[in-house]
Structure 1
Amino acid sequence: MIKVVKGNPTPEELAAALAVVQARAAALASVPPGAPGAADQWADPARVARRRMPQPGPRAWGRTYWPA
């Protein structure tokens, strides 16, 4: 059951939102149990650091707290 708690969507907007929810549910239902799915990708720490971060300088510890 879907309930609109704020706003007044048009029937077209509501249909578009429901289509997205149904497509997502169908995609998750098609993943076999135990297989890595899209939900696992959000928890993957490698997603956050995709590129190499610059190395901090000798006084970096002092700049981490105080805004510049």
Structure 2
Amino acid sequence: MCGEEPLLRIVRGVPTAEELAALVGAVVTRPRAAGPAPAPTSTWARSGRPGSNGHLPGPGAWRASALPR
């Protein structure tokens, strides 16, 4: 690790041990920016979500849901 930039650097003020612990805890628990992409949702699963099939609730929606596109 010699010669590497530190992950964090205090540039102003004198933080207490508790403040530093809170900062480190926040940095460690944050979501990672890079990682595997979530698995794509199947067409079957998407079809059950409201508005995903082109039919939105409203006047005439029940009748329109049975009509071919």
TM-score range, shorter chain: 0.3 to 0.5
| Greater relative contact order (CA < 8 Å, ≥ 6 in sequence) | 1
Q: Which has the larger radius of gyration?
A: 2
TM-score after normalising by structure 1: 0.39
TM-score after normalising by structure 2: 0.38
* Greater percentage in helix: 1
